[in-house]
Each structure stands twice: as C-alpha cells, then as structure tokens.
Structure 1
C-alpha cells in the first residue's frame, strides 16, 4: 500500500459567461475537495478536455463524478428529450470519456447525484427524466431545506458493498435532483432506495469500486457519508 495520498480526480461544472466572469468558467463547491482531502486523498480538479482523458487517467488513482444543475442528454440512453431539460454537452462528453476510460482500467469511481446518473448511462442503463412526472406520490427530491440537512431517509440493501461500508440499514440523506435511475445498467444492482421507490444508489458488482449515490455525501451530514468517502479513497490506494 502506498504511503502517499492517492490522487483523486474530481470533475468540474461549467458555466457560460455571467456572474463570476464575463468569460466561460468552471465551478466546484469547496466541500467536494475538502471531504476527499479529509478522507486521505489528494484532490485534483479536471477541466473538460476529452482528448486529455487518457492522460488524466494515467495519472489519477480514482475518479469522482460530481453533480450539477443540468441533465444527461436522453439521446445517450435512446429516449426523446422532455421539455425544459438543461444540457451541458461539453461537460457530459468529457465525463463520459473519463468514466469509460476508468471502467476499462477498473479504476475506483464514485458518482455523486448527476454523477450516479451518468455512471448508470455509461454502463447501459436509462433515466427518469423528471421524477414528479413519472413517480406517483414522489418525495421532494429537490428538498426545500438546506443541503447541509437531511431531506429524507434511504434504505440500504443488505449484502451490498454500500451496506458493508456504512454498516446501517437506513441512513439520512440530502436530496437535490429531479432525475433518477429508471432501468439499472447491466452488471449493476440497487444498493439504496428512497421510501417512494426512487433508486438512490447503484454499484457495479464486477468492479473493484464502482458506486453511485443520488445524494451528496460531500456535505458529510452523517457517519455514513464520511465512511463512504473513506472507503472510496481507501480503494484508490491499492
């Protein structure tokens, strides 16, 4: 086992001119990098350069695919787009290149919120495009309270890697999404589910570490969140 901290690549969000800068700019909440560092990793932020994906993957030890206020293009999973979707094609193109390359190398991957959705699509699954339209009696998955507080609970599936990591059958989570997994990708199983039946976590059973969660563990609102980050960074050390 290496004594040096593993290098953890974290994907960035991108914005058009306005607000922070009159030029296009990247963005990332500090808590993504802070929690990776606290878990023992050395965080590095990844700009959207698909042609450099292989070079990034040659250098990093693990990949975090972050969330954001945008949607995965339904064309990627063979569906027609509903009205009102927000697409960031450059970001998605880069993240797909990174995820596909990481999967080929069996590099540890942690997908967070939209990162879980992208992971499911990259592995061959599909998405619900708007939960309120498709899930009767759905919870407020765009929770009205602060993301630093729980929005609801999720049940952790027994026998899964996530269950072994968190050591709980039910954990509180924050919730900031309007899309979710519909059809789970081949080779993956559901490891967490909300009371309304929405899939909250998936994992690939044939990979060293390949987990997606729909909530935001970087806010560290429960012991389960920090346990997940530590387990991910630990897998990146081998």
Structure 2
C-alpha cells in the first residue's frame, strides 16, 4: 500500500461549469500529481482545527498560498500582507502537531514559511522593501528563476546535487529560521531551504518543486513516510 500523504488546501472562490464564484476547497493539481508520481497516495486536507487526521497520515505536504498572519510571529500586518485567518490557524496547529508526532513534512513556499514560524522563526513581510528588487515574484503568474546554493552535507544538497536552478513565486521570506537550519539560499542571500537535521524528515523549500514534478524531493518525502509507517 502506498504511504498516505496529506496535502493542505485553499478555500477560494472558484468557477466551473454552470457554477460561479462558489467558496471551494481546492489545490493545484501539480501537488497531487507530484505526490502520486513519487509513489505516495495523495489525500487533500480541508481547513480544520482538529489535528487527529495526522494519526492516519504517513507524511504531510504544507502547500503554498497567501501570506501567513504576522501575529503568529509577534508582528502586525503590513499594508501588502494578505492572509487567510482560518487557514492560518488550522495549518499552524497541524504543523506543530506534525512536528511533535515526527510525521515527515515537506513545506513548499508558504509551507516553508509556516514551518519556520512553527519553529519559532520570523518572516520579512515584503521582500522588495528588504532586498530592493522583485526577482522572487517578477510579475503575476510568472516564476522568478534563481540559482541557489546549498549547504554541503545537508539533506537538500544531497537531493539536488549539481542542479541549482529553482523557480519561485513569493513576496515574503524567512528572516529568522528559529530552531530550523537554513540550508539553501538564493544569490541575494535569502533563505530558500530550511530543515531540521535532528528529525527524520522536516524540509521546507521556498520554490515550487511540484510544478516540475520533482521526484527527488517528493520521493524523499514518500521514502520517509514509508519509514514512519513501519516504525
């Protein structure tokens, strides 16, 4: 049986067929396809503040999405910060409980930021104010392309090998990684990967590996999920 991988979801207004602007629980199909292609059984997780579902999961993907509420790291929202409070509360509970239970976790974009804040870290709320450029979110729907550098001996360095190209889309970023270790950076010094070397599998990446169905990262999550199931 394939390991069961939960994927967090959005609630957004969506239109399809004869239906218009309905509040809808959804996630880009790339996440589902990437987990399935890597050998996992994807299960979508709607917003819910009950974390008991983790007892049925072998691994967890914290997906991308809107900004995380700055109050989780002791700051007030800035003008360009856009949050989803219900999702923030539910996913913060889920992330913290997953860490406590040693459930393997892969955080993607917002998911990496969520992992960081769950581990006591903080975020920059608008990167152009800090970095002086828009290269991490160059235009609506356009990914920023970077060459990252990875810490030798880290999990992400072992997974990525000589392939340093990443594609990202975000206007916030990690300021302080808290208890996590920054193991990857963009050329401007911004954290692009974090991990917890003391846990079985806790990895966050600021880019979007699901878009290219990157089996290195999703395969590593599935492998850790198999170990979690058998332990």
1:142 aligns with 2:141: no
Aligned partner of 2:100 in structure 1 is: 104
Matched residue of 1:182: which SS? strand
Aligned partner of 1:81 in structure 2 is: 77
Moved over 3 A (4+): 17-23, 143-147
Aligned partner of 1:191 in structure 2 is: 183
* 8 Å CA contact retained: 1:202, 1:213: yes
Aligned partner of 1:237 in structure 2 is: 226
Instruction: Decide which structure has greater strand share.
Output: 2
1:226, CA displacement in angstroms?
A: 2.0
**Distance between the aligned counterparts of 2:187 and 2:140, measured in 1?**
18
Aligned partner of 1:115 in structure 2 is: 111
The normalised TM-score by structure 1 is 0.89
- RMSD over aligned Cα atoms: 1.8
1:36, CA displacement in angstroms?
A: 0.3
The normalised TM-score by structure 2 is 0.91
What runs of 5+ residues in structure 2 fail to find an aligned partner? none
1:150, CA displacement in angstroms?
A: 6.7
1:167, CA displacement in angstroms?
A: 2.1
* 8 Å CA contact retained: 2:113, 2:173: yes
Aligned counterpart for 1:129 among listed residues 125, 129, 147: 125
**Distance between the aligned counterparts of 1:72 and 1:198, measured in 2?**
18
What runs of 5+ residues in structure 1 fail to find an aligned partner? none
**Distance between the aligned counterparts of 1:145 and 1:153, measured in 2?**
21
* 8 Å CA contact retained: 2:80, 2:126: no
Aligned counterpart for 2:202 among listed residues 195, 207, 210: 210
Alpha-carbon distance change, 12 to 145 in structure 1, aligned in 2, over 3 angstroms: closer
* 8 Å CA contact retained: 1:154, 1:195: yes
For residues 119-166 of structure 1, give each alpha carbon's deviation from its aligned partner in whole angstroms, at most 9, with x where no partner exists. Answer: 000110000000001114x4510144976x771211111111111222
Aligned residues: 224
* 8 Å CA contact retained: 1:201, 1:214: yes
1:48 aligns with 2:44: no
**Distance between the aligned counterparts of 2:189 and 2:85, measured in 1?**
29
1:178 aligns with 2:176: no
Alpha-carbon distance change, 146 to 23 in structure 1, aligned in 2, over 3 angstroms: closer
* 8 Å CA contact retained: 1:143, 1:174: no
